[in-house]
Structure 1
Amino acid sequence: MLRSLFLFLSKNRTLTKLAKTYGIRLGAGRFVAGDTIASAVKTVKRLNRAGLSATIDYLGEYARTEQEAKKTAAQCKQVIGAIAEHQLDSELSLKLTSIGLDISEELAVSHLKAILKEAKHHEVAVTIDMEDYSRYERTLRIYKRLKPEFEKLGTVIQAYLYRAAEDIRNLHPLKPNLRLVKGAYKESAAVAFPDKKGTDLHLQNLIKLQLLSGNYTAVATHDDAIIAFTRKLVSKHRIPNSQFEFQMLYGIRPERQKELAKEGYRMRVYVPYGTDWYSYFMRRIAERPANAAFVLKGIIKK
């Protein structure tokens, strides 16, 4: 019930506007690296010094006007420039709705092409984040369309979707770089596993499918059981560390992140920044309602 409540609240426009007004003081600072590119760069430099890779995400979803989409696309290009200028061990992640997908697919493609050209120039990898199921098919279609031209383009597959294994198989000819996740949106039981056990087992199958295909695999999880499964699998099949990585969110299990990096694994931290942090933050609470305590602390300190 708590998960459903927080996912519902994540889509509330009034609360989103209020959150932007008060900034990250309400507790989101645990998960968000500040408001500006400069704050994101500072955070990534610190992570890099600790042996951790990063992916930077300029927070924002569901652009409602072409001007909003244009602004986010410009910010993404600035992130790429900052990664190159500061020689950061970092990639860029973005959501297609933030660059106009809900306005028109062609608008999103136009902005994404411009971002990818900038990324290709600076040799920076880009991952298209996956959103809810209503945008899933369009996201895969755009990925398939642009991947042949942009080698360093990746996307995300969500394990709670029944169709995920089939989608990975269909992507194999493109030699896809995939981030495999459990999934953080509220979906119908008609398209997604309703329980954690089913999702976890499916994620293990997806990790095996993607790794044994020889394609690059990002295992994005905070679950020690999934991490242990991956380590056992790569050891058994002698899969080199250069073919996969672990990923975790900024602010969640930082000590475990450092442990994995010290053990010789590539450990990438997802670093979001910006003022439009509310929806992202609420999904983090939905994943683990105990995180709501950080909101209360922020309010008390305000």
Structure 2
Amino acid sequence: MTISRSFFIFLSQNKTLTKGAKKWGIHLGASKVVAGEDIDEALTTIQSMNEQGLMATIDHLGEFITEKSEVEEAKQKTIEIIDSVYAKNVQSELTVKLTKLGLDIDTDYCIENMKEILQAAKEKQNFVNIDMEDYSRYEKTLNVLKTLRKEYDNVGTVLQGYLRRGLDDLDGLAEVPLRIVKGAYQEKEEVAFKDKHEVDANYFLMIQKHLQQEGFTAIGTHDHRIINAVKLFVEDQGIPYHTFEFQMLYGFRTELQLQLVQEGYNVRVYVPFGKEWYGYFMRRLAERPQNLVSVAKGMIAK
């Protein structure tokens, strides 16, 4: 029986299950892709990766917050993470979601929260990447980014290869550090490619285009075919290795990550942590339903 991608997307957006997941803890295989529930666990994981030549971007999981009290708590937690990363001297940037910082409450309020975070990161010589969410928040996210970039250069965002407008949007973001990914949300056909071959083709075109622009390019993929194509492209175009990096998710294709490091490429691992692990885990299953094998192993191990 085939379990559809849309089924896991549906589960990821179920608020009742999300709330219940906080009580369950990181069970059912989620610990294989989420680096613990607190910052100390995550930093220990990152220190180990740094020793192997891998960099990180850390994400305190959580999204879709609609209460200001929770936003304030999330903002302070993010600043504490910046301080902890600096104190531990680990090689890690930060990833944040704007819906965790007030985007669904008020855009200006969200911008002010982000400015506090970016100022803290600037003082600690760190970089913050704004994670892209579903398409209903796409335009708002780009507008927030453009406002922030007027004052801060230590901020970038994510563009998704499955979006039909992605290639055109690169024109207005030529100097911005970008993480380019295929995309993990369920979107309507009028805004997103549905055919895998179309997604892959558009994704690679976006990578090629940004590699030749001024902004730093983070290539978020586990697809060895895309990785090999990027290797050939940068060699052919004479693109310096320091202008891009490969990014992968914690718990996925670790051997490939280390192989790329040995070959001289920069590799950064997205390291999520926190009690709000449920939605993230469901989206990973949506991308690769075969990860249910990990869930089964997690249940047997209990």
TM range (shorter): over 0.9
Deviation at 1:166, TM superposition (A): 1.1
- Could you tell me how far apart the structure 2 residues matched to 1:260 and 1:296 are? 30
CA distance in 2, matches of 1:8, 1:77: 32
Q: Which aligned runs of 4 or more in structure 1 are off by greater than 4 angstroms?
A: none
Matches within 5 A, 1:110-121: 110-121=112-123
Q: Structure 1 pair 295/191, CA: closer, same or farther in 2 (3 Å)? A: same
SS at match of 1:297: helix
Give the gaps of 5 or more residues in structure 1: none
Q: Given residue 177 of structure 2, which amino acid in structure 1 is its aligned partner?
A: N
Q: TM-score scaled by structure 2? A: 0.97
Counterpart of 1:25 in structure 2 is: 27
Aligned partner of 1:265 in structure 2 is 265
The one-letter code of the counterpart of 2:233 is L
Tell me how large the CA RMSD over aligned residues is: 0.9
Q: CA offset at residue 81 of structure 1?
A: 0.5
**Structure 2 counterparts to residues 178-189 of structure 1, below 5 A:** 178-189=178-189
- How far apart are the structure 2 equivalents of 1:96 and 1:66? 13
1:96-135 counterparts in 2 under 5 A?
A: 96-135=98-137
TM-score by length of 1: 0.97
Q: Aligned residue for 2:54? A: 52
Matched, 1:158 2:160: yes
Gaps of at least 5 residues in structure 2 are: none
* One-letter amino acid of the structure 2 residue matched with residue 237 of structure 1: Q
Matches for 1:108-257 after TM superposition, within 5 Å: 108-172=110-174, 175-257=175-257
Is residue 83 from structure 1 mapped to residue 85 from structure 2 by the alignment? yes
* 2:222 match: secondary structure: coil
Q: Percent identity?
A: 47
Q: CA deviation at 1:293?
A: 2.2
- Determine the C-alpha separation between the residues in 1 that align with 2:301 and 2:258: 29
Matched, 1:2 2:4: yes
The one-letter code matched in structure 2 to 1:156 is V
Q: For the residues of structure 2 that align with 1:75 and 1:2, how far apart are their CA atoms?
A: 35
Query: How far off its partner does 1:150 sit?
Result: 1.2
CA distance in 2, matches of 1:67, 1:131: 22
Q: 1:97 corresponds to which letter in structure 2?
A: T
Give the Cα–Cα distance (whole angstroms) in 2 for the partners of residues 200 and 69 of structure 1.
36
**Residues of 2 paired with 1:301 and 1:215: CA distance?**
45
